Amino acid sequence: MTIQYSIIAPIYNELENLPELYRRVKEVMSAAGGTWELLLVDDGSTDGSTEAIRALAQEDKHVRPLIFARNFGHQVAITAGWDYARGEAVIIIDADLQDPPEVIPELIAKWKEGYQVVYAVRAEREGETWFKKVTAAAFYRIIYRITDVKIPLDSGDFRLMDRKVVDVLKTMRERHRFPRGMSAWVGFKQVGVPYKRAARYAGVTKYPFNKMLKLALNAITGFSYFPLQMATFFGFISAGLAALAIPVVIIMRLMGSQFFEGQATTLIAVLFLGGVQLISLGVLGEYLGRVYDEAKGRPLYILSEGPED
């Protein structure tokens, strides 16, 4: 049997959201027409979501469980979904119902018009802290500025992708992943659909600040050399300043000024340069660490239970 639509939902401790997610997806997809499957990727949940996913799969053959051996992260869970999805169109959706399943038919309509990536754009966000909104807005704009791929502003992972696109994405096995950037990078015919991002149905965010920071680093390092180029930039600035300072100091000395005497000046200059050098080294380390991770060639994720088990 060919499957028309695959819906991928990454699950990390979303026990209270699972029944509602299933109910609403089922309702929407039954009305949409066409065969469908719901891939529930359990990213190392510890709250009983795993058992709930198993039970849903027992009850309804539309549901296919992918159970990770531990928490590998949201981006990797999406990747596992891509690997196992069989649909002609693949839809990624958050399990907390912040991305309303009712938007899926709009994505499908655009796909039927011939678009191969249909991303949902957050026209409004509900029930999120001002801190999250401000950092998210800044994040999208910085990424847009400094990376080579034009990742659409305010679009998250909620999107539909054609089989052709997913087959390309499946070959991109980078370890530090930024799926929405990857799906912008591949090209194809893309279009955005605005939607209102709802508040979480239940539970709290599984994206604390450190995870957000990691994702931002993945996005920047994965799609740009900008931080590396900053080191060169600062190098030229410091060297230029030093070159300018030499004649200035000589002239001031000749004129009898005491201005540049003493250890404080030296200390500040040394600390400044030391700081710039250490930061540059850190930036280099970020990239080097990523190269090292790639070199190890470990699997992206480990399944303790696949959909066919």
Q: Is 218 in the site for ligand UDP (CB under 6 A)?
A: no
3-state secondary structure of 283: helix
Q: DSSP of 266-278, one letter per residue?
A: HHHHHHHHHHHHH
Which of 94, 100, 184, 190 is the binder for ligand UDP (CB under 6 A)? 94
Please, what is the minimum distance in Å from the beta carbon of residue 239 to ligand UDP? 42
Tell the burial category of 279 from Cβ atoms under 10 Å away from its Cβ (0-12, 13-18, 19+). middle
User: Rg of the chain over CA atoms, in angstroms?
Assistant: 25
Token couple for 36: 């469908």
Is 43 an interacting residue with respect to Mg ion (CB under 5 A)? Answer: no
Q: What is the nearest approach in angstroms of ligand UDP to the Cβ of residue 245?
A: 47
Asked if residues 104 and 29 have their Cβ atoms less than 8 Å apart, the reply is yes
Q: Which is nearer to ligand UDP, 45 or 116 (CB)?
A: 45
Beta-sheet pairing, 155-162 with 36-42? unpaired
Contact status, residue 14 vs residue 56, Cβ threshold 8 Å: no
Which region among 104-112, 201-209, 223-231, 264-272 touches ligand UDP (by CB under 6 A)? 201-209
Are the CB atoms for 61 and 68 separated by under 8 Å? no
Q: 190 phi and psi, to 5 degrees? A: -120, 150
Residue closer to Mg ion by CB (options 77, 303) is 77
Which of 4, 71, 135, 238 touches ligand UDP by CB under 6 A?
71
Q: Which of residues 68-107 bind Mg ion (CB under 5 A)?
A: 94, 96, 98
Classified as helix, coil or strand, 39 is strand
Q: Could you say which of ligand UDP, Mg ion, none residue 292 binds, taking C-beta under 5 to 8 angstroms by partner kind? A: none
What mask of x and - would describe binding to Mg ion in positions 110 to 149, judged by CB under 5 A?
----------------------------------------
Q: Which of 228, 211, 205 is nearest to 176 (CA)?
A: 211
Nearest distance from residue 9's CB to ligand UDP, in Å?
6
17 binds Mg ion (CB under 5 A): no
- 122 belongs to the binding site for ligand UDP (CB under 6 A): no
Q: Which stretch binds ligand UDP (CB under 6 A): 108-116, 158-166, 204-212, 261-269?
A: 204-212
Q: Which of 62, 64, 122, 206 binds ligand UDP (CB under 6 A)?
A: 206
Q: Which is nearer to ligand UDP, 102 or 128 (CB)?
A: 128
Q: Tell me how far, at minimum, the Cβ of 175 lies from ligand UDP, in Å.
A: 15
CB 97 within 8 A of CB 17: yes
Instruction: Give the 3-state secondary structure of residue 124.
Output: strand
CA distance 68 to 77: 8
Half-sphere exposure of 271 (CA within 13 A, CB side): 6
Footprint on this chain of Mg ion (rule: CB under 5 A): 94, 96, 98
Footprint on this chain of ligand UDP (rule: CB under 6 A): 10-12, 14, 43, 71, 73-74, 77, 94-96, 98, 205-207
